[in-house]
Structure 1
Amino acid sequence: MKILIVEDEKELLESITISLEKEKFVIESANNFEIASEKIALYEYDCILLDIMLPFGSGLDLLKQLKKNNKSENVIIISAKDSLEDKIKGLELGADDYLTKPFHISELNARIKAVLRRKKLDGKNSIEVRNITLDITERQLTIDKINIPLNRKEFDILNYFLLNKNRVVTKTALAEHVWGDNIDQADNLDFIYYQIKNLRKKLQQAQIEIELVYGIGYKMIEK
């Protein structure tokens, strides 16, 4: 899961980043309106943590940008402005939740997981397809109720494919989602092939498979 943190308070940004990375999220950040605007225009995120008061602009304008571009990212506003008017504006513009500063990081983690469950998993903690179950909270895969160990990237790749089952996923989209926006600096995407090769071996008994879409990327289908 990839999260964008839009926050200009350095200490808070670092604190949130450290906490969410421990939860195995891929984290990107923006400390002003311009950087955030560019990132949400170019990339897709599972969740955006959005401060309203930003250098060079307002977080509410970023919400308008997301709405205009038909982006479906889950947005949680994190702001010191504890006014009913701001909350209503944010929710009307498509925000999914609103957390007022100061807050406990543990509460933020719980809000993020709740939003992701609500939007992507219909409130569940796991994804079930045929004979496999992927537990998002425990980060565990079972095939026919047998636990199959996955490393961090294998889990993230499988999770992304399951959420996009029967859709063609480009190598670039997969790389950006699992490895973050700095994937732009990579010379090539060959490392994706090796990760998927290893994942396929672990899915041999599963009633799903990752098939190659030549020249484009991959697609997960049921056998």
Structure 2
Amino acid sequence: MKILIIEDEPELLENIKNSLEKEQFLVETASDYNTAIDKVFVYNYDCILLDIMLPNGSGLDILSQLKKAGKGKHVIIISAKDSLEDKLTGLELGADDYLTKPFHLAELNARIKVVLRRNNLDGKNILQFCNTQLDLDERLLTVDDKNIPLNRKEFDILTYFYLNKNRLITKTALAEHVWGDHIDQADNFDFIYYQIKNIRKKLQESNAQIKFEAVYGVGYKIVENEAS
């Protein structure tokens, strides 16, 4: 998935970019109005992070032009301006969310995942893969309509993989997604191995037609189990 960051503060831009790249996103950047305009109308993005105050122009003008072109969906405004008028204007122009600076990168990542989930699901909260289904509202996994119990971490991990089917997820990206800011307290990633092992067992015992594939030393991806 590809994300465009439109932000003129170099340090913040770099921090957001590094954070998203750890999540295995393809990230492009623009630090001024003209560069941003060139990119948003030439390329398609799964999500756009948009600052309001930009050199040579306003982020709200970019959002307005995107709306007119039918490309204004999946935009999160990130701005130091916290006025109600700016928020309402941004949302009326089609922005999905509005995050006021300063913010934690973990919060921004969470907001992005909500937007991407909405994009992937067309507003629905059910994820399906082969004969399995995840209900994100009820936090339930079913295999052939039979409920499979998962603990909170297992469900969060499986949701992340469902949103990234057939895509390699590194251990670092998975740990940061599920454990957030507390990951720096971990000595190693053994806990990920045990969580994946438990989920694998439950999928196998329920005859799920999906499986985890391990890429040694890197991470995992979830794919269709062709042998099922």
TM-score normalised by structure 1 residue count:
0.62
Offset from partner CA, 1:157-216 (integer Å, 9 cap, x none): x9xxxxxxxxxxxxxxxxxxxxxxxxxxxxxxxxxxxxxxxxxxx768299xxxxxxxxx
CA contact 1:125–1:136 (8 Å) conserved in 2:
no
For residue 71 of structure 2, give the secondary structure of its aligned residue in structure 1.
coil
2:51 maps to what in 1?
51
**Per-residue deviation at 1:129?**
4.3
CA distance 1:140–1:92, shift in 2 (3 Å): closer
Are 1:17 and 2:32 counterparts? no
CA distance 1:61–1:72, shift in 2 (3 Å): closer
Structure 2: tracts of 5 or more residues without a match: 135-157, 167-202
CA contact 1:117–1:125 (8 Å) conserved in 2:
no
Distance, in Å, in 2 between the alignment partners of 1:101 and 1:75 is 16
Aligned residues: 160
CA contact 1:140–1:150 (8 Å) conserved in 2:
no
**Per-residue deviation at 1:65?**
1.2
**Per-residue deviation at 1:114?**
1.1
Are 1:28 and 2:28 counterparts? yes
One-letter code aligned to 2:4: L
Which of 207, 211, 228 is the matching residue for 1:146? Answer: 211
* Structure ranking higher on relative contact order (CA contacts 8 Å, 6+ apart): 1
Distance, in Å, in 2 between the alignment partners of 1:109 and 1:56 is 28
Which of 160, 175, 189 is the matching residue for 1:137? Answer: 160
**Per-residue deviation at 1:119?**
2.9
CA distance 1:72–1:203, shift in 2 (3 Å): farther
Are 1:205 and 2:226 counterparts? yes
Are 1:87 and 2:108 counterparts? no
Distance, in Å, in 1 between the alignment partners of 2:13 and 2:21 is 12
One-letter code aligned to 1:75: V
